[in-house]
Chains A and B, each alone.
Chain A
Amino acid sequence: MALKGNLRDFSLSQLLNLIHLAKKSGTLFLEDSRVKAWLSFREGKLAYGKYGDEDNSLAAILYNARKLNANQFRALKERGNSMNDKELGLLLVNAGYVSQQEVLASLQEYLTTLVHRLYSWVEGTFYFDSEKMPPQDRINLRIGLDNLIIEGTRRLKEVEQLQDEIPSLDIALKFREQPDTDVRNLRLSKEEWRVVSFINPKNSLKQIAQALKMNDIEIRRVAYGLVQAGVVEMVRPEMTTPRPIIPGIPNATRQEQVSLVKRIIQRIRSL
């Protein structure tokens, strides 16, 4: 039921990966010793976020994005709470102060930056509440998590985490059958695209790294980002996958083995 834990052990990337792939709706509460933050999602897309006491009203965001000047901002603030963000947005667009495009772009920039700031947290607790929906009176966005996740992995400083996530470079990558991401919408670096071009269940990460002259950390980082973004999954390279060896019951024919397993099943059922 609950999604609860510490970011040190279950990272923000992993959480976003989960929300993205399970297309979750609800709010993720994060808290470290100094500040609380929350991110709200609808069907696996980021809709809204708040960082501590920071003013995240539309007026403040537009002002910080230099879409409103200081006088306009002050005037709006003095009006107080007479209008919610949706109403304000509509008013500003209708009055020709800003375009709808600018409103959405400023909000998107704000949320993206907020997530990047959260990526720098190493410590902190998280809690996901699937009952708490993004606030109705605020403008909700629909930001796909894939690019946020990949950007987060690019910035990941804890190299040990990459080692843990991808212990062996003998594995290969394979595109997911039903990717949660349209690969064409991914914003990747040149290096990352080169890795993508080598993705094939026959190519181990080691081989890809050799071909592209990347070091272990670099290849792990790219692979991890793509895995977390739900674009690819890790598989054993096709050529080397051993067929499951059937259980070491030495000197037994297949029939004997089958009968032995059936005897065990009988017995366990009767326990």
Chain B
Amino acid sequence: MQTVKMVVTGPFNAGKTAFIKTVSEIDVVSTERKITKESEKVKDTTTVAMDFGRITIDNDLVLYLFGTPGQRRFDFMWEILSEGMLGFIVMVDSCRPETFREARSILETFRAYAPTPYIVAANKQDRKEAWDLEDMRIALRLDSTVKLLPCVATDKESVKNILLELLYQILQEMENGAA
């Protein structure tokens, strides 16, 4: 049995858990991890919740979806995430411009760690306060080569579309022969 992973990241409340829930065949498990770095002992112990979903592809292949907060200090998670990672999705709440800056810095961090294909999902596009995609592209400072797609994380077709677009991009990069 082979396993591959995709990572869903983004600021708090962007819709990562909802996204994974929508397509996962198991209940999304949130794992709590305690950080016990010496340097952080003074402060309260920080916990990180990681969502975990699964899609069985066929008899010998499983796709895992990991939802992870984007904070820079949770570096240790990379050991868990980077191996076998196909690509990642950065979720952004289209209604909360105050999170755009964080989303951008998460994107930069992830790109630095894992130069794999990625896609940016402008989530909550069903809400009327949602920003237009063109405005978000500028505010998030994504150049025209970065895929930015509308998303409604609670809607299955929308989530499928995001996953497929990412997969097409992965396929394309493989076929371009970056091996």
* A residues apposed to B, CB below 8 Å: 1-6, 8-10, 14, 17-18, 21-22, 164-165, 167-168, 227, 233-234, 242-250, 254, 257-258, 260-265, 267-269, 271
Return B144 CB to nearest CB of chain A, in Å: 9
- Contact (Cβ within 8 A) A254 B177: yes
Which chain B residue lies CB-closest to A8?
A: B98
The interface residues of chain A lying within 8 Å CB-to-CB of B33 are: none
- Contact (Cβ within 8 A) A250 B84: yes
Q: What are 6 of the A-B contact pairs (CB < 8 Å)?
A: A2-B131, A244-B173, A245-B116, A247-B86, A249-B2, A262-B171
The interface residues of chain B lying within 8 Å CB-to-CB of A246 are: 116, 170, 173-174, 178-179
- Contact (Cβ within 8 A) A244 B61: no
The interface residues of chain B lying within 8 Å CB-to-CB of A8 are: 98
- Contact (Cβ within 8 A) B167 A261: yes
> Number of residues in B with C-beta < 8 Å to the partner?
55
- Contact (Cβ within 8 A) B135 A233: no
- Residue B147 CB within 8 A of the other chain: no
Which chain B residue lies CB-closest to A171?
A: B108
Most buried by A among B23, B82, B116, B139: B139
* Inter-chain CB contacts under 8 Å: number: 137
Given contact pairs A2-B129, A233-B143, A261-B170, A165 touches B101 in the complex (Cβ within 8 A): yes
Which chain A residue lies CB-closest to B117?
A: A244
The interface residues of chain A lying within 8 Å CB-to-CB of B82 are: 248
Return B57 CB to nearest CB of chain A, in Å: 5
Q: Please pick, from B55, B83, B98, the residue contacting A9 in the complex, using a CB distance under 8 A.
A: B98
Return A255 CB to nearest CB of chain B, in Å: 9
Q: Please pick, from B131, B134, B160, the residue contacting A268 in the complex, using a CB distance under 8 A.
A: B160
Which chain B residue lies CB-closest to A168?
A: B108
- Contact (Cβ within 8 A) B61 A263: yes
The interface residues of chain B lying within 8 Å CB-to-CB of A250 are: 83-84
- Contact (Cβ within 8 A) A1 B129: yes
What CA separation (Å) do A100 and B164 show in the bound complex?
A: 59
- Contact (Cβ within 8 A) B116 A247: yes
4 interchain residue pairs of minimum CB distance: A9-B98, A10-B97, A5-B97, A247-B86
- Contact (Cβ within 8 A) B57 A267: yes
What CA separation (Å) do A164 and B139 show in the bound complex?
A: 14
- Residue B175 CB within 8 A of the other chain: yes
The interface residues of chain B lying within 8 Å CB-to-CB of A242 are: 115
- Contact (Cβ within 8 A) A167 B105: yes
B98-129 with Cβ < 8 A to chain A: 98-102, 105, 108-109, 112, 114-117, 128-129
The interface residues of chain B lying within 8 Å CB-to-CB of A9 are: 97-99, 101
- Contact (Cβ within 8 A) A1 B174: no
- Contact (Cβ within 8 A) A264 B63: yes
Which chain A residue lies CB-closest to B60?
A: A263
Q: Please pick, from B98, B108, B116, the residue contacting A167 in the complex, using a CB distance under 8 A.
A: B108
